[in-house]
Amino acid sequence: MLFLRALFPFAFAILLSQWPETDATKQIEALSRIYKEKLHTNSIDRRHFNASHQSHVVRILSQKGMRENDRIAKLPGQPPVRFKQYGGYVTVNQTAGRAFYYYFAEAQRAHHKSLPLLLWLNGGPGCSSLAYGAMQELGPFRVHSDGKTLYKNPFSWNHAANLLFLESPAGVGFSYSNTTADFRSGGDAKTAADNYAFLVNWLERFPEYKGRDFYISGESYAGHYVPQLAHTILYHNKKAGKTIINLKGIIIGNAVINDETDTIGMYEYFGSHALVSDEITKQIMRYCDFSANATTQPHQCNQAAEQVDKNINVIDIYNIYAPLCWNPNLTLTPKKASVSHMDPCSDYYVYAYLNRPQVQKALHANVTNMSYDWEPCSDVIKKWTDSAATVLPLLQEIMANGLRVWIFSGDTDGRVPVTSTKNSINILKLPIETAWHPWFLDREVGGYTQVYKGNLTFATVRGAGHQVPSFQPARALSLIMHFLDGTQLPNSSRF
């Protein structure tokens, strides 16, 4: 998910009168805050990200014995499974005392030796890959409404890959820093550098994955993290003159890619999905300046944006047709759970589960007894100092290096909707290799896809909100399997 929770306290107050007081409410504020922040001030560095501006020193620390200590025998309330799990800390910066928490679910059964390694990142900035990716989207388990027990996700992506979830940057979830100044000086560049330091050290701890085909995936604001980390990997591979990390491709969903087109596409989506009147949409398009350099907006723009907020703040903008969470209370016995019907209150179940001391112990998390709770989106990160206006040049670089790039889009998300993503891809002006067509799963249309010449595939996922694997788990698994296999999505239900 996106949504900075507390990052921009001075940004817009959003009208929330009819909303239940939930975490989801806070999440609604998050990404719109960073967009609005970027539209109204120039306190965020929006320049193009480049790894050569970063510290070149990547410390590889001894990881001896750590892997065995990270082995998770069994999580509290967990059904039996046939794969190995690990969780623990990797120090990314010794001087500052920064350590990142990871959770690793090896691929199911005997295939883990041949299947690739897949990293998943959530966005925010400030949201946790454990909260969303692992426990509500593509991980092997979901949390029951009792906040204590787990059930299996039959569509877990560890049927297709060895799955690595990372809480990043410091201040997110269990990942921490002993230097609190880090929480006010973070941004895209430091996140990429720390993510890279995490990876090389993690591979030292799990050396059998060193040469393995490696892919990076993520959603939302991870539309920044994923290509920025890929760029950093390419940079270090080139500098070293050898393959340090065997990166093969990236895949991003409902991703923040290019601020100007992302924002225009968002308002287009609101208008075309009957959430906002045509008059207000026209006023937005006429008076707002979404270009990268704009820092002030005329009052006609602000006035229209207020009207938009009134209309959208009463629904879940991350999945416009979804029900809201009206009762976040845990239940004594688990409610009947279904992976195919996402419970809108699951954030609360995950919050309860991951804050249980015995769960943290089993996960090898919170070993320093932090003074604050585990949160799905960070309350401790206070400032975001750099956020590139666009990652399109990075996507071009990754494609030019012959890596596979897939961009997917759940078509009921209103925050980084399909219109935004199409607008952003269109800027690249790539020739089409396979024309737009429906793709199929179990005889139903899973979504639509278009393949571009130059190593880029675009695919929608029908009926999915912002967190695609939460809302369409089977379609999401099919998508990731085709991505990892390097095969096109099926153009007929016969394949």
Ligand X SMILES: *[C@@H]1O[C@H](CO)[C@@H](O)[C@H](O)[C@H]1NC(C)=O
Residue count at the site for ligand X (CB under 6 A)?
Answer: 34
Q: Which residues contact 429 (CB under 8 A, 6 or more apart)?
A: none
CA atoms within 13 A on the CB side of 402: 1
Give min distance, CB of 202 to ligand X, in A: 14
Site membership for ligand X, residue 332 (CB under 6 A)? no
Select which of 188, 343, 347, 413 is catalytic: 413
Q: How far apart are CA 185 and CA 379, in angstroms?
A: 15
Q: Which of the residues 32, 128, 145, 220 is marked catalytic?
A: 220
Tokens of residue 316, six digits: 């879940």
Binding of ligand X by 91 (CB under 6 A): yes
Q: Which of 17, 329, 332, 336 binds ligand X (CB under 6 A)?
A: 329
- For ligand X, the nearest residue by Cβ is 454
Residue 18 makes contact with ligand X by CB under 6 A: no
427 touches ligand X by CB under 6 A: no
Token pair 């799955």: residue: 163
Question: Based on CB atoms, which residue is closest to ligand X, 193 or 312?
Answer: 193
- Please identify which residue in 157, 374, 440, 483 interacts with ligand X, judged by CB under 6 A: 374
- Catalytic residue (one of 466, 470, 478, 482): 466
Q: Cβ closer to ligand X: 188 or 309?
A: 188
The reply on whether position 419 binds ligand X by CB under 6 A is no
Instruction: Report the site for ligand X in 440-479 (rule: CB under 6 A).
Output: 454-455
Exactly one of 52, 62, 95, 333 binds ligand X (CB under 6 A); that residue is 95
Does the active-site annotation cover 409? Answer: no
Out of 50, 63, 179, 385, which residue is the one contacting ligand X (CB under 6 A)?
179
Give φ, ψ of 456 to 5 degrees: -125, 130
Q: How far is the CB of 414 from ligand X (least distance, A)?
A: 25
Whether 391 contacts 227, CB under 8 Å: yes
Is 300 a binding residue for ligand X by CB under 6 A? The answer is no
486 forms part of the interface with ligand X (CB under 6 A): no
Site for ligand X in 344-373 (CB under 6 A): 360, 366, 368-370, 372-373
- Contact between 327 and ligand X per CB under 6 A: yes
Residues contacting 460, CB < 8 A, separation 6+: 408, 409, 410, 411, 418, 447, 448, 449
Contacts 24+ apart (CB under 8 A), 337-344: 337/142, 337/144, 337/145, 337/151, 339/142, 339/151, 339/153, 339/154, 339/155, 339/473, 340/473, 340/474, 342/136, 342/470, 342/471, 343/145, 344/24, 344/316
Residue 413 designated active-site: yes
The pair phi, psi for residue 351, each rounded to 5°, is -55, -50
User: Does 55 engage in binding with ligand X (CB under 6 A)?
Assistant: yes
Binding mask 273-292 for ligand X (x = CB under 6 A): ------------------xx
To the query of whether residue 220 is one of the catalytic residues in this protein, the response is yes
Among positions 303, 311, 385, 488, the unique one binding ligand X when judged by CB under 6 A: 488
Q: Could you tell me whether strands 444-452 and 456-461 are parallel, antiparallel, or unpaired per DSSP bridges? A: antiparallel
Considering beta carbons, is residue 277 or 434 the nearer one to ligand X?
Answer: 434
Distance in Å, CB of 493 to ligand X, minimum: 11
Shortest Cβ distance from residue 199 to ligand X (Å)?
14
Tell me if 99 contacts ligand X by CB under 6 A: yes
Interface contacts to ligand X, rule CB under 6 A: 55, 57, 91, 93, 95-99, 174, 178-179, 182, 291-293, 327, 329, 360, 366, 368-370, 372-374, 399-400, 402, 454-455, 488, 491, 495
> Looking at the annotation, which residues are catalytic?
220, 413, 466
